[in-house]
Amino acid sequence: MDHRTERERVVQLTWVPCCSPNDLTPTQVDEIIQLFLQETEERYAEASVRHLPIPVWGGNLKLIDADAPAPQPILGVMWATPFKDDIVRVAALVIASAYQGRGLGGAAWNRMSRTAWSNGFRHVQLEVKAANEGAQRFYQARNLTIQQRLEGYYQSGLGYMMRGRLAPPEDTKHYSPRHKG
**Phi, psi for residue 136 in degrees, rounded to 5:** -60, -40
pTM: 0.86
- Phi-psi category of residue 53: left, alpha or beta, with phi > 0 → left and psi -120 to 50 → alpha: beta
- SS3 of 158, please? strand
Rounded distance between C-alpha atoms, residue 110 and residue 105, angstroms: 9
Rounded distance between C-alpha atoms, residue 2 and residue 121, angstroms: 45
What tens-digit pLDDT sequence spans the chain (181 residues)? Answer: 445 455 545 679 999 999 999 999 999 999 999 999 999 888 999 999 999 999 999 999 999 999 999 899 999 999 999 999 999 999 999 999 999 999 999 999 999 999 999 999 999 999 999 999 999 999 999 999 999 999 888 877 889 999 999 999 876 554 444 333 4
CATH number, span 13-174: 3.40.630.30
